[in-house]
Amino acid sequence: MPTASPPPPQATADGDAGVPPWRLLLAYARPHRWALLAGALLGLLTGATGLALPLVAKALIENLADDKGIAGPLILMSLLVLMNAVIGALGGYLLRRTAESVVLGARRRLTSYLLRLRITAMDRSEPGDLMARVTSDTTLLREVTTEALVGICTGGLTLVATLAMMGWTDPVLMGVTLGVMVLAGSLLGVIVPRISKATKRAQESVGLMGAALERVLGSLRTVKASGAELREERAVHAAAEDSWRQSVRAAKWEAIAGNTAGLAIQIAFLTVLGVGGARVATGSIGVGTLVAFLLYVFYLMGPIQQVVGAVMQYQTGSAAVRRIQEAHRLPAEPVAEPAPLPGPDQPPLSLAFDGVRFRYADDLPPVHHGVTFQVPARGMTAFVGPSGAGKTTVFSLIERFYEPTAGRIEVDGRDLGDWDLARLRASIGYVEQDAPVLSGTLRDNLLLGNPTAGEDEVRQVVTTTRLGPLVERLPDGLDTLVGHRGTKLSGGERQRVAIARALLRRPRLLMLDEATSQLDAVNEAALRDTVAEVARTTTVLVVAHRLSTVTLADRIVVMDAGRVRAVGTHGELVAQDALYAELATTQFLAAAESGADGVGGAGGVVGLSGSSTPEHVG
């Protein structure tokens, strides 16, 4: 299997003013230069056998005219035809195989780069468009490698050799043919830029169509529940129709260019036939010379079409390379080997925010306005406050998904920016708010953060997170496929899988973002006890919307409108902070009403934001 090649040179931020597309194409092809050279030489050899045929045909006709034997020329012609077919097939296979290797290398580089993209870059990008760059845009490199890079060399050399042979056969007829070719070339010079523009728009529209389709398929249940199938269908169809229009426009200009070359050959043939016939009649040349020259005119069509095709494929390939390079210019995290997970003897991490300010984009309002708090190593710290207070953003900054615009974050006494990114994340277990589960088996999901975990560790964490009944119920146990985004699991089951995945990493810092919001009371209580046990030996941060979780915390950070209002225990904050007291009182009242209705107990269903959220049994 081909090895991954080094990344191509990066274009500058202004795109077209940077590295020219032909240099980028050469960079993709450079690792395979010897295979391409061999294919090009085989192509030239194929052309050489073709060029020899008219000369043999001329000798055959002259032998017939002079009553000489024709067995030798016939055998030679047969051998040339056979060699042409065999060498052409071998060269074609070698070039196609090399082209596939170029595509593979481009896909490897691009997918590796996209997996390292910063979250800020993903926030500004459409996943469907990025997928189109990996699939359709890289596929275009297959044709451009053989048609453009090799075709323009072999076709150009063959064209020059053919013209030289025509000039050697008869300079007058050569001049006539060359005049027709110059006229056709002038017309192609007008058409080619239009092909380039239309091709680029066509590829951009394919990316937009992919983005529209990914948007719908990624939220298909929501679309169906909203009765929005027809509206979304029209949006996807509109994107597909725009792609069709742009592709048809490109096809129109390509067809005009191809037919211009064919028309030039026909005009050249008729002109040569007329002028050549007159020269035969005057005795300037013989019939054999005219036949040989006409064969050269016919043979000229091959290299001309090859060169024209190479130019058109270059336009397509250059647009594809520009789109691939645009993806390579997105900000990405540095390449790093996976860091080892913490050992059992490593201490928990401490944490400190000092005047941290942050906004997600320059055109968006700030999320944090000078956030300051300290979390000692070991114990549980809960973050509470209304929605939009900036609680989840705290976790994103710790994971370095984003960088603060001002202030300082310290982890274990070191500035966050001084940490090796892989080692930092290896020390953290993070359960996101929506507890995503990947397509694959249940075991794949559990081992995602620690693929070397032993069977005993897996069994222990399954028991700890109360996943045992689920594993027993599934037809293939841990090896059961969970479906796209875990659709075969309930919301509560997905949350428990996410918690188990984080615990398997043996983190020095565990972050749980509303990690029990979809659990029933029994499972929530069990996992709450598990988290409390983990907090004895590690640092646990919890974004909590439930009072039952908050009251177990060693300290509570109350956030409001991007600021820290207060820090303390539950009892201290009820007495000292009006917002926390109001949220706590609201929850107690709601819990009491729920208990009176026989629905739930204290802290069961109401978030600290003051909004009721139905319980999803997991």
Residue 372 has what pLDDT? 92
Q: What percent of the chain has pLDDT over 70?
A: 85
Cβ count near 42 (within 10 Å): 21
545 has a pLDDT exceeding 50: yes
**Distance between CA 418 and CA 406 in Å, rounded?**
16
Determine the average pLDDT of the residues in 483-507.
81
Residue 607 has what pLDDT? 36
**Distance between CA 15 and CA 20 in Å, rounded?**
9
Q: Taking a C-beta distance cutoff of 8 angstroms, is the pair 426, 399 a contact?
A: no
332 has a pLDDT exceeding 80: yes
Q: Please write the tens of the pLDDT for every residue from 43-95.
A: 777 767 766 776 777 677 767 766 676 777 777 777 877 877 888 788 778 77
152 has a pLDDT exceeding 60: yes
Element (H, E) at 368: strand 368-375
237 has a pLDDT exceeding 60: yes
Q: Please write the tens of the pLDDT for every residue from 386-417.
A: 888 888 899 989 989 888 999 999 998 888 88
What's the one-letter identity of residue 149?
L
29 has a pLDDT exceeding 80: no
Strand, helix or coil at 380?
strand
Residue 593 has what pLDDT? 41
Q: Taking a C-beta distance cutoff of 8 angstroms, is the pair 356, 404 a contact?
A: yes
Annotate 140-184 with DSSP letters as a single string: HHHHIIIIIIIHHHHHHHHHHHHHHHHHHH-HHHHHHHHHHHHHH
What is the chain's mean pLDDT, rounded?
Answer: 76
353 has a pLDDT exceeding 90: yes
**Distance between CA 384 and CA 373 in Å, rounded?**
13
pLDDT confidence tier of residue 587, bands split at 50, 70 and 90: low
